[in-house]
Structure 1
């Protein structure tokens, strides 16, 4: 794109990318994943409150910190 080989990023991707296969979600598993997501969000919120209150340390750290 920058040197004028292809006119757009979209066309560049079409020319350079080759797909071997496509993965599609299984709709039957949606409810299971949704429940797990909701539980994780609740636990994460509680953990953040403990960290913000100085009662514990964070479960993760950004690289370089």
Structure 2
């Protein structure tokens, strides 16, 4: 969890879909920030996490994090 996730984002106000487009080139810290972002999004808009999960976006973030941890980029 990145409590300062907003420091990693480029849109203001936060455009969640645009931020998630950055995932393919994201480093590990940005992945953590993006994951924190979607958790916080769900806090304010209950149900969005489930919708993003169904769309495969949550798994995409986690897959990218695992890829980076394995040393592949």
TM-score (norm 1): 0.31
**Higher helix proportion, which one?**
2
TM-score (norm 2): 0.29
Bigger radius of gyration, 1 or 2?
Answer: 1
